[in-house]
Amino acid sequence: MFNSMFRSLRQKLGLPSPWGKARMAILCSSLLTVGIVACSGGSITSQEVTSDAASAQAEAPTGEVTTAGNTLDSVLSAGVLKVAVPQDSPPFGSVGTDGEPQGYDIEVAKLIATDLEVELELIPVTSTHRLPYLQTGRADLVISSLGATPERAKSIYFSSTPYAPFFSGIYGPADANVAGYDDLGGYSIGVTQGSLEDLEVSEKAPEGVEIKRFEDNSVTVSALLANQVDLIATGNTIAGKVIQDNPAAGLANKFVMKNSPCYIGVRRGDLDMLEWINVFVRHKRFSGDFDRLSQEWFGEPLQVPSF
Question: What is the domain partition of the chain in residue ranges?
Answer: 71-165+261-298, 167-259
Q: 26 by DSSP, 3-state: which?
A: helix
Give the total residue count for the chain: 307
- 239 Cβ contact list (under 8 Å, min separation 6): 169, 171, 232, 251, 253, 299, 300
Each residue's pLDDT tens digit, 153-185: 999 999 999 999 888 999 999 999 999 999 999
In angstroms, how far is CA 18 from the centroid of its own chain? 71
Fold of 167-259: D-Maltodextrin-Binding Protein; domain 2 (3.40.190)
Instruction: Name the residue type at position 30.
Output: S
pLDDT tens column, 77-132? 999 999 999 887 888 998 888 989 999 999 999 999 999 999 999 999 887 889 99
H helices present in the chain, as ranges: 2-13, 21-39, 46-58, 71-78, 104-116, 130-135, 196-204, 217-225, 236-245, 271-287, 289-298
Rounded Cα gap, residues 95 and 102, in angstroms: 6
User: What is the value of pTM for the model shown?
Assistant: 0.64
Fold of 71-165+261-298: D-Maltodextrin-Binding Protein; domain 2 (3.40.190)
Same fold, 71-165+261-298 and 167-259: yes
| Residues 14-56: tens digit of each pLDDT | 555 444 444 444 444 444 343 333 333 333 223 233 333 333 3
